[in-house]
Chain A
Amino acid sequence: MKKDIQRRKRWDAIFALCGMVALMIGVLTFTALFVDMALDGVGRLSWEFFTNFPSRRPGQAGILSAWVGSTLVMLTTAFFAVPLGVAAGIYLEEYAAKNWITDLIEINITNLAGVPSIVYGLLALGLFVYQFGLGQSILAAGLTLALLILPVVIVATREAIRAIPQAIREGSYAVGATQWQTVRYHILPYSSAGILTGIIIGMARAIGETAPIITIGALTFIAFLPPAPLQADAPFLSFDWLMSPFTVMPIQMFNWTSRPEAAFHANAAAAGFVLVLMTLAMNGLAIWLRYRLRRNIKW
């Protein structure tokens, strides 16, 4: 009997050890990935790396067109995904009646979250690039990534809204506010931090997406910048950049990784290092926001 108990306790300890080891495998892999890339790439990180165009000579190649392209694509993505996602989230939580249309929308959102990103690329290739005639432009890429992260934004918006107690809404209605006034002055402000967390996580995912953008046929070698959005003369704002060809950070990295020369691999490592830092910073910010939120709000 005593032996039995001891044996079971031993198994308990063995499993606890296994758990630690499994967790450590994750941690070690991440560390190896980060350190390996930092060691390979840090020698290439310099001011010129950020201000040079890609080049056939690895020593002079830089990521100027890639980071500018990524920034512009992200702006376009946010412009479409944020209003659409938040509006859809508000509708489903605050307005939707319990009927088959609502069910259909909800099933669709769950399903879309599980569709591989490359399928979105095919959608964009058939729809945006050829059907709508947008070509391989920043606008087509931004729209594609916006559709891709829409489920993330919607789910985050819904969760943030669901956390608001019913009493807040009732209080607002009791003083005569309409539904939209309740949403505008109470629901949205109180859920904004949670929504922001979801938006940041979605954007962090979009900035690292490679497959859908390759599928729409983005070029890998771009040695020019899209037209500047700010112009010297009236009307000062220009949207020509939306239709411009482009490249983004992950595609630039893919291009350098798939070359045989080791010198380009160093460039890939440096670009990957910058990319990982960007996504880590965004995800870290989102996690921190959520942590603060959980501590500060007590309804």
Chain B
Amino acid sequence: MSAPTRARLARRRARILRERLIETVLFLAALVSVFTTVAIVYILVKESVVFFQSVSIVRFLTDTQWTPLFDDAHFGIMVLLSGTLTSAAVALAIAIPLGTVIAIYLSEFAAFKLREIAKPFLELLGGVPTIVYGYFALLFVTPLLQRIYPELPGFNLLSAGIVMGIMIIPYVSSISEDAMRAVPMSLREGSYAMGATRFQTAIKVVVPAAFSGIASAYILGISRAVGETMILAVAAGMQPNLTFNPLEPAATITAFIVQVALGDLPHGSTGYQTIFAAGLTLLLFTLACNIAGHVLRKRFREAY
């Protein structure tokens, strides 16, 4: 083999090696997401296992008191769950109707110009930091509600839930709208040709055709509402309270974690481990939502 050929082959080998190396580095970067999931599950399960060695799962699920930091400690997750579910229900009662109406309106009724302005605006609404929404709920919405209903306590699930609902509207509306816009024009034209109005077309043709996308938008909304933290920590109070009445103050799972993190609990104490058990509950709940959304998307997808 001549010297130039050898040199060329050597360069070629170096090049292939470099390509391989780069691909490996990129692959490792992509694997970080897998590591993150594994790390989340590992940390939450590891600390929760220690927690469940001192508190039985049955007590965790059935006790009706949540006083992990008292001498007479009770660990009934139901108490925190009731606050979480009540506030999420209020939020969804706001976000789902308004988000759906906005999505139908923008997709089927509104002029192109209006949509071009409204969509970025909704996006901005979703970009406001949640702590700012918390401030708004505590110092604007609650006083406003107290004017209508004077007995409302300063901390309550209602105003936190309402503000949380408004925060979730952009998530629900933008995904639902995308789903509706993906419905082919020919379906609408068929409906119009039969003499249907825009409203009839929207309700009877477009919404059923886009159902899987709309359902997954709702589910995303639910998992946002359940995982929301700062609005509730600021405006709903941090008092554990087994209630389904939105007019009362109550702590949620997330607010409890914040409350514990704000104090200085020693690493390894039972109080420290409770937040991981609470976090695991939260993770399982949102995971169930994600899977449900995935199944819905698969099952009700209309392919065109």
Contacts and interface: CB of A to CB of B under 8 A. Distances in A.
B122 interface: yes
Secondary structure call for the A interface: helix
Contact of B267 (A91, A104, A109, A130): A130
Contacts of B279: 118-119, 122
B286 interface: yes
Q: Size class of A's contact patch?
A: 35 or more
B36 A26 contact: no
Interface string B127-167: 11111111110111000000000000000000000000010
B101 A22 contact: yes
A280 B127 CA distance: 7
Contact of A123 (B40, B105, B254, B257): B40
B132 A18 contact: no
B230 A211 contact: yes
B117 to A, nearest CB: 10
Nearest to A123: B40
Contact of B257 (A26, A85, A178, A215): A215
A283 B123 contact: yes
A116 B140 contact: no
Contacts of B229: 116-118, 210-211
B132 A127 contact: no
Given A88-B30, A105-B31, A253-B135, 14 more contacts: A11-B199, A26-B102, A32-B136, A36-B140, A40-B139, A90-B26, A108-B34, A111-B287, A118-B258, A119-B286, A208-B129, A215-B261, A254-B233, A280-B127
A43 interface: no
Given A29-B166, A109-B33, A115 B199 contact: no
B2 interface: no
B227 interface: yes
Contacts of A258: 234
A106 to B, nearest CB: 9
A116 B32 contact: no
Given A16-B109, A119-B279, A283-B124, A114 B290 contact: yes
A105 B34 contact: yes
Given A26-B166, A122-B275, A178-B19, A257 B131 contact: yes
6 residue pairs, one from A and one from B, having the closest CB atoms:
A116-B227, A19-B105, A208-B129, A87-B29, A126-B43, A211-B229
A290 B24 CA distance: 31
A12 B201 CA distance: 10
A178 B276 contact: no
A193 interface: no
